Amino acid sequence: MFGRYITKSPDETKELASKFTKDISQRDVIALIGDLGTGKTAFTQGFAKAIGVQESVGSPTFKLISEYQGVSFSLYHIDCYRLKNVQQFINIGGEEYIVSANGVTIIEWADIIEEILPDDTIKIHFKRIFDDLNHREIIVS
Ligand code: ADP
Ligand code: MG
């Protein structure tokens, strides 16, 4: 699971995410870090589909956390895009939702709340590769 990957389309990013689900279990936290449009939501969608989520996963405007029911565990999708800082996240009570006993948590723009993430958080960095519009470098650590 750890390492550097190159994907050449949104579908390849979703496919990579679906492979990841095999190594992930309840209580795991996955932090997605990278600029707008680098594939964080695409990754989350691929992950959700692979664990059996029926609903479509998006980027809701007013919601910080969305919960989706998979076949054997839930997915908690947190998007920190609209947060100014970690204090704001703590003030609205987000901290208690980071680790979930019955599910996996995927956090977009996780760099904003990095200081309160568990030590064993799986970090995934997304970057554009400028020789092709549809290429992304995805580094898992
Ligand atoms: P983020 O959540 O990081 O802002 P999104 O997943 O919402 O990004 O959007 C990624 C955008 O980049 C989509 O428009 C998608 O079609 C496009 N795209 C192009 N190539 C890739 C790729 N290799 N992986 C993921 N998305 C890609
Ligand atoms: Mg997104």
> Which pLDDT does position 23 carry in this prediction?
96
Rounded to two decimals, the pTM is 0.97
d(C-alpha 35, C-alpha 12), whole Å: 18
Q: How far apart are the CA of 58 and the centre of ligand 2, in A?
A: 8
Residue whose CA is at the smallest distance from ligand 1 atom 13: 37
> Which pLDDT does position 105 carry in this prediction?
98
Q: How far is the CA of 49 from the CAs of 14, 26, 57, 85, 134, in angstroms?
A: 9, 16, 9, 30, 21
> Which pLDDT does position 130 carry in this prediction?
86
Of all ligands present, the nearest one to the C-alpha of 6 is: 1
Q: State whether the Cα torsion 2-36-98-9 is positive or negative.
A: negative
Q: How far apart are the CA of 132 and the centre of ligand 2, in A?
A: 20
Pocket test for ligand 1, best of 41, 47, 77, 111 (most atoms within 8 A of CB): 41
Structural domains for the chain: 3-140 (3.40.50.300)
Contact 105/27 with Cβ under 8 angstroms? no
Sequential pLDDT tens for the chain (141 residues): 999 999 999 999 999 999 999 999 999 999 999 999 999 999 999 999 999 999 999 987 778 999 999 999 999 999 999 999 999 999 999 999 999 999 999 999 999 999 999 999 999 999 999 879 999 999 999
Contact 100/76 with Cβ under 8 angstroms? yes
Token digits of residue 131:
């020789």
Q: How far apart are the CA of 39 and the centre of ligand 2, in A?
A: 7
Q: How far apart are the CA of 128 and the centre of ligand 1, in A?
A: 9
> Which pLDDT does position 131 carry in this prediction?
79
